Amino acid sequence: MKVGLLHPGEMGAAVGAVLVERGDEVLWRPAGRSAATARRAEEAGLQATEHFDDVQVILSICPPHAALDVARTLAGSRALVIDANAVSPATARAIGAVLGDNWVDGGIVGPPPRSSGTTRLYLSGTNAGAAAELFTGTPMEAIVVSGSPVAASALKMAYAAWTKGTAALLLAIRATAKASGIEEALLTEWARSQPELEVRAQNAAISAATKGWRWAGEMDEIAATFAETGLPVGFHEAAAAIFRRSPQLAEPSLDGVIDGLLAQQDDV
């Protein structure tokens, strides 16, 4: 199989690598991309090209805010396009309208797929079964979700609403406790009654300091998903604000993220 990949970030490069390992030819377009992206693509075994004219499948894996614009660059493609971005059902429908009959809605749950049993690619729509076959024999488990053509995006939004939304909540709680002078007392109580929260807060800080810029857009998409169902959107609008305010740190730490959040209090 000849596959086009847009764009080889951390997740995209890993997905491309599992297809290369299976024996597929995976192409990527280097125009306008960074040296870091080029390095990831090379390490994953991807081949640089200027066009995707002869590919059979195109995978779009990019930050949520860019998903619709990326889809527009693929309008008219004869390839099967798997849009595996963390977007709301409304955005997914807009992408489907751009891409037409060759579009498959997708949502990835889990870390970059480097070993079996860690990562799922949920797929929905008329061509979901054909898209799932692309990942047969790879560490990426492809699962077809029945129902709406955008069911995969809806599932991704519901899942990330908890995993990433609560990460932002933990950071906000720790920042509030520090600003209120009761951080040590809170940690003592957590150690007694919620011992898992300290580790979760540490992990949340690392993610916020390295991926917060991307997670903020995902929180916006989750808020839009809640709005479409008539539920309050404030949970994830606040989470987006936390991730946008999180400092990007070369050496991520919980204290560094908390201090960064508190330094921007006037921006609320």
- Domains of the chain, with CATH numbers? 2-149 (3.40.50.720), 154-267 (1.10.1040.10)
Rounded mean pLDDT of 31-35? Answer: 92
The residue assigned the tokens 């955008």 is 150
> How far apart, in whole angstroms, are the C-alpha atoms of residue 38 and residue 75?
25
Predicted pLDDT at 264: 79
Predicted pLDDT at 46: 98
> How far apart, in whole angstroms, are the C-alpha atoms of residue 156 and residue 143?
12
Peptide bond into 7 cis (omega under 30): yes
User: Taking the model in full, what pTM does it have?
Assistant: 0.94
> How far apart, in whole angstroms, are the C-alpha atoms of residue 123 and residue 168?
27
B/e letters for 137-160, b = 16+ CB within 10 Å, e = fewer, are ebbbbbbbbeeebbbbbbbbbebb
Residues 117-167 have pLDDT tens digits of: 999 999 999 999 999 999 999 999 999 999 999 999 999 999 999 999 999
Mention every residue, 6+ apart, whose C-beta is less than 8 A from residue 238: 168, 172
Predicted pLDDT at 164: 98
Q: Which residues pair with 142 in a beta bridge?
A: 121
Average pLDDT over the chain, rounded to whole? 96
Predicted pLDDT at 266: 52
Rounded mean pLDDT of 207-226? Answer: 97
- pLDDT classification of 180: cutoffs 50, 70, 90: very high
Rounded mean pLDDT of 29-51? Answer: 94
- pLDDT classification of 39: cutoffs 50, 70, 90: very high
Distances (CA, A) of 182 to 175, 186, 187: 10, 6, 9
> How far apart, in whole angstroms, are the C-alpha atoms of residue 14 and residue 152?
20
Query: What is the identity of the amino acid at 29?
Result: R
Predicted pLDDT at 52: 94
Q: Is residue 85 pLDDT above 90, yes or no?
A: yes
